[in-house]
Structure 1
Amino acid sequence: MKNTIYKRVMSLACASFLTVGMLAGCGKSGSAAGNSGKVLIAYTDTEDAFRAALADGLTSGAKELGIDVAMEQTGDSVEKQIALIEKASQEGYAGVVCRAADAATAHQIELAAGDMPVVFVNAQPADDQLKGDRYIYVGSPEEDAGRYEGEYVYNKLGKPAEMNLVILKGEKGHSATVARTSAAKNYIKSQGCKVNVTFSDFANWTPEGAYEMMDMVKKVGASYDAVICNNDSMAIGVINWMKDNGVDPKQVPVCGVDATADGCQSIKDGQMQFTCQQDAKGQAKAALEAIEALSSGKNLSGVKGATKDGKYVWVPFNKVDASNVGNFM
């Protein structure tokens, strides 16, 4: 145990050392937030369509709002995020916008931030890790996305007494994975329908992962009336698998979340049947407006979607199917 702790401490120390000087070379956009200076934006990656759109929204939104930002991509390294935030604090940055590599490390991120306010975006920490107008979360209410998927499937299948489902999940432990999955099942159960989840596994948000999982579904002989995915990229992977394996997606509802360009096109083409728009640009704009207010010593009262306790800014999901997909393209 002592060796493990020692290694962890040394890992953090090394990460901090390696990031000395990194922030000095980061790109700028516009003028400073509030009266204090630059804002650090620490994000994980752009490996799926939504996260790419979120990063783009943060970059373009900062320019529009005139906020001076340093954009840093950290991958899934908690140590790198913490080291960058510590360095930003030492250099007198005004605040941090962070898509946490692991939302369970929110407290460590807050400690690293020192006197800076922190806006978490898209990866939701536990409520007890947030503090009104200080450490806040910007995102969309994940339970709504899952509930909308469950509602669509239940109605599309004719409100049956029983159904078999395949559920493909995103990242293990991610707040969206947990909330979307449970809410979809719970909605269907709440309608008096027996839900048999014949196969469920993590496809890590990717079409390739979803394709592999559908191969496994076929291998184990799991039957299904519908496939519910935690995002559009996985739903696209399911559609690709169905095309290659003689399954008609018009007969088996496939649902996703995000309303990405590919997801919406798939719905327009009569393949995917349903998604929810997770507004990446809306989340980015709200996160930037929040950090602009907090870094200036203000509260969130002027930010649209902010809760009364000052802990959250909610950007709503929107239902998307064949009847309205044109509005989201």
Structure 2
Amino acid sequence: MKMKKAFAAILAGTMCAGMLVGCGTSQATQSDSKTDRAVKVSDYDGEITLVIATKDEFLGTLDNAVKAAAEINNVELHSVDCGADQDKQNDAVRAAAENGVDALIVNLADDSRAQDVIDAAGDIPIVFVNRCPKDTSLLNDTHVYVGSDESTSGVMQGELLADALKKDGQTEAHYFMLKGTEGLLHTMARSEDVIETLQKNGITAEETIPAIDCDFSRSVAMEKVNALLANGADFSKVDTIISNNDDMALGAIEALKQAGVDTSKMKIVGIDGTQIGLQAILDGDMTATVFQSTSGQAAASLQAAINLASKEKVNTGISYQLEDHTIWVPFEKVTEDNVGDYY
């Protein structure tokens, strides 16, 4: 199994010096597989709390990856799932701060309410992971972000789709889009950038069935597509399904197949590169996805939290790019040609 780039970019400086070539660059020289193996990032004797928005396929994997990184580092980590409720998240952050944790890792339930989280944390440093505060001016030396550039994911998805369409001699996409949680920055970025990229690549994009918001949920996508079918939506004219994540794409595929709709000739693209998304590419159910490294984000966010708690520079021991209080973990394109490198 080929080892992925995305994870072992996060290593302690001593490990870098002794084991890796070119460790000071923003690109990793070693990597993990889809199993999200933990890598020892630093020795640290303290307590960190992870407060995660919810545990869908992707965020559940992220939660497990942070726990794995903490375990291998002998870091005491507490994890709290807020069930996508920002008020509950604020309460969890406040409770963790009152209990004297050294740092917090927070996956926002609502990216427009990061100030609430900061207020609840008081003087405790925060690493926001995967979902960036909508107001990026809130980021500073003690409130940082670790994640992947969402505009990049939409662009990559558009490029993958354009390549797949052109390969079959198509210059038009009659598409149906499944969007994530309404109002979140990455929902908007993924939805807008993929269409703009198609057009820039010479593909005429026509929305054949109006987009639906499915909260990044496979079950919600399946339920809503079933409702569309029951109300007479004609999917025979759809040749492209664009989904803000793999889960929703798979929910749509399942609903359509159960209704007797042939999806075999549709171009279907997702984002995240989850295990089930990768399997769908192997099975021929999905055309492509954009891999988002849970293990890379997990290791980087844990190391950043350790650094903040230890009064170190936030990017100490991290070889991903640091820019304006943000540590960028790159997205990567996945197709049938290279899916085996990730699965």
Aligned residue identity for 2:333: K
| TM-score, with structure 1 as normaliser | 0.83
> Which stretch shows the higher mean deviation, 141-150 or 155-164?
155-164
Q: What is the aligned-residue identity percentage?
A: 30
Partner of 2:50: 41
Partner of 2:269: 255
Q: How many residues align?
A: 296
Alignment of 1:130-141 (within 5 A): 130-141=138-149
Q: Distance in 1 between matches of 2:156 and 2:224?
A: 23
| SS of residue in 2 equivalent to 1:304 | coil
Are the counterparts in 1 of residues 112 and 135 from structure 2 also a CA contact under 8 Å? no
| SS of residue in 2 equivalent to 1:235 | helix
Q: Distance in 1 between matches of 2:284 and 2:245?
A: 18
Q: Deviations over 1:12-69 (max 9, x none)?
A: xxxxxxxxxxxxxxxxxxxx9857x4212111221x2111101101111111122222
Are the counterparts in 2 of residues 34 and 295 from structure 1 also a CA contact under 8 Å? no
Q: Deviations over 1:119-169 (max 9, x none)?
A: 111121125343333111111111222112211222222275543211101
The answer as to 2:60 corresponding to 1:52 is yes
Q: Distance in 2 between matches of 1:214 and 1:114?
A: 44
Alignment of 1:190-229 (within 5 A): 190-198=200-208, 199-218=210-229, 219-221=232-234, 223-229=237-243
Deviation at 1:300, TM superposition (A): 2.1
Aligned residue identity for 1:133: D
The structure whose RCO (Cα within 8 Å, separation 6+) is larger is 2
Partner of 2:193: 183
Partner of 2:122: 114
Q: Distance in 1 between matches of 2:140 and 2:312?
A: 11
Alignment of 1:220-239 (within 5 A): 220-221=233-234, 223-239=237-253
Partner of 1:11: none
Deviation at 1:206, TM superposition (A): 2.0
RMSD: 2.2
Q: Distance in 1 between matches of 2:137 and 2:323?
A: 17
Q: Deviations over 1:167-189 (max 9, x none)?
A: 10111122221111111011012
Higher helix share: 1
| SS of residue in 1 equivalent to 2:264 | coil
Specify which of 298, 304, 308 is matched with residue 319 of structure 2. 304
Any unmatched runs of 5+ in structure 2? 1-41
Partner of 2:39: none
Any unmatched runs of 5+ in structure 1? 1-31
> Which stretch shows the higher mean deviation, 70-79 or 262-271?
70-79
Are the counterparts in 2 of residues 238 and 254 from structure 1 also a CA contact under 8 Å? no
Are the counterparts in 1 of residues 304 and 315 from structure 2 also a CA contact under 8 Å? no
Aligned residue identity for 2:249: A
Are the counterparts in 2 of residues 38 and 68 from structure 1 also a CA contact under 8 Å? yes
Specify which of 85, 92, 113 is matched with residue 84 of structure 1. 92
Partner of 1:15: none
The answer as to 2:287 corresponding to 1:278 is no
CA distance change for structure 1 residues 128 and 322 in 2, over 3 Å: closer, same or farther? closer
Q: Distance in 1 between matches of 2:180 and 2:81?
A: 20
Aligned residue identity for 1:41: L
Aligned residue identity for 2:245: N
Deviation at 1:301, TM superposition (A): 3.2
Are the counterparts in 2 of residues 34 and 293 from structure 1 also a CA contact under 8 Å? no
Q: Distance in 2 between matches of 1:192 and 1:264?
A: 27
Are the counterparts in 1 of residues 159 and 197 from structure 2 also a CA contact under 8 Å? yes
Aligned residue identity for 1:106: A
Q: Distance in 1 between matches of 2:165 and 2:86?
A: 43
Partner of 1:29: none
Q: Distance in 2 between matches of 1:91 and 1:269?
A: 48
The answer as to 2:157 corresponding to 1:149 is yes
CA distance change for structure 1 residues 101 and 275 in 2, over 3 Å: closer, same or farther? same
Q: Distance in 1 between matches of 2:224 and 2:99?
A: 46
